Amino acid sequence: MSGLPSDNRTIYVRLWSLTGVGWQYNDYNFKACNCGVTTQIAQMTSPANGSTFGSTSVTFNWSLGSGNSQYFLYVGNSPGSSESFYSSVTGGSTAVSGLPTDGRIFTCDCGR
């Protein structure tokens, strides 16, 4: 497709499927960037999204992606927060200890 912007704005995509019960869709979003460098951001591989932690220590693993030079791992009670853990990390794995096991929901953002 031609004519897409390259100014770092968010592009929203909806993919429709005709199923046995009618039309259904999934929504996606992408960043429009003509950065001149092919990159792929890191992706969390474990624990699985939505997992329940049964221990105060959890090892987080992620794919390295490509074109990335540094990673930060935030673990907290809301997206982007870091009250439980914040660190610059190398490689694709780090152990986080001291997590509460009182049933609260945690989020983990792994960024470059």
Contacts of residue 68, defined as CB under 8 A and 6 or more positions apart, other chains included, come to: 39, 40, 41, 42, 112
More confident residue, 104 or 37: 104
Determine the pLDDT at residue 112.
42
| Length of the chain (residues) | 112
More confident residue, 36 or 13: 13
Return the structure tokens found at 6: 């390259």
Contacts of residue 59, defined as CB under 8 A and 6 or more positions apart, other chains included, come to: 46, 93, 94, 95, 96
- Tokens 């983990």 correspond to 108
Residue pair 35/18 in contact (Cβ under 8 Å)? The answer is: no
Quick: pLDDT tens for 20-59.
Answer: 998 998 887 877 776 655 568 888 888 887 788 888 888 8
- The reply to whether the predicted model has a pTM over 0.75 is no
Reply yes or no: is the peptide bond before residue 47 cis, omega within 30 of 0.
yes
